[in-house]
Amino acid sequence: MTENIGVLGKQTARRSGTERVVNAPLPTVYGKFQAVGYLDHDRGDEQVALVYGDIGTDRVLTRLHSECLTGDAFGSQHCECGDQLASALRAVVAEGSGIVVYLRGHEGRGIGLLAKLRAMALQAEGLDTVEANLALGLPVDARDYGVAAEILHDLGVRSVRLMSNNPRKREALVRHGIEVAETVPLLIEPCENNITYLRTKRERLDHNLPHLDAVAHWS
């Protein structure tokens, strides 16, 4: 689909929903994906789904990955996001097919990059990730997964095996008409820098992180 910027700008003002814009091959260190690009007309975000192999329609191995610049690009150990992204990409290649939907606009659970950095500064002073967001007058989790469901619908997916430890992702997909046939844990070995963050996710955000029980030597 080829349009000049002026025409696209006019259409963006009139349209709603999520539009598929481009499909391009994307060779990576994990394998050769198809990068399917979307424009979310409601929020203005540009989104991408990395598709590997013949995905079919049912029980598609899928990861909904929230954008995390510090973790995905910089290798931050404050969270496990970068390792989760790499593990998800490796998993779909090992499976032979699957999808990783990379959700932009989800930085800091939806509060944005600068607000996330402010929250991280408060965490360095002793607040946990929930307390830090609330101290800034921001929601604990402002993410919306409607666009992810729209992307999956566009790709012809009816049911997924969802790689996630967050039950709210499952609930959101089901609410938007995508069946979750199975939840596949995506557990990353914790380190001293992220153990408090991970424990907060389990204790205050209901994430399923049973592997933390084996970590007792970090206070």
Sheet holding 179-184, edge to edge: 18-27, 32-40, 46-52, 98-103, 60-66, 159-163, 179-184
- Is residue 59 among the annotated active site residues? no
Nearest to 58 by CA among 152, 123, 139: 152
Cβ neighbourhood burial of 186 (10 Å; 0-12, 13-18, 19+): buried
Active-site residue, from 143, 144, 206, 213:
143
Active-site residue, from 141, 154, 202, 206:
141
Give strand pairing partners of 64.
101
- Is residue 199 among the annotated active site residues? no
- The residue assigned the tokens 């995506």 is 186
Cβ neighbourhood burial of 146 (10 Å; 0-12, 13-18, 19+): middle
CB-CB contact of 40 with 47 (8 Å): yes
- Catalytic site residues? 141, 143
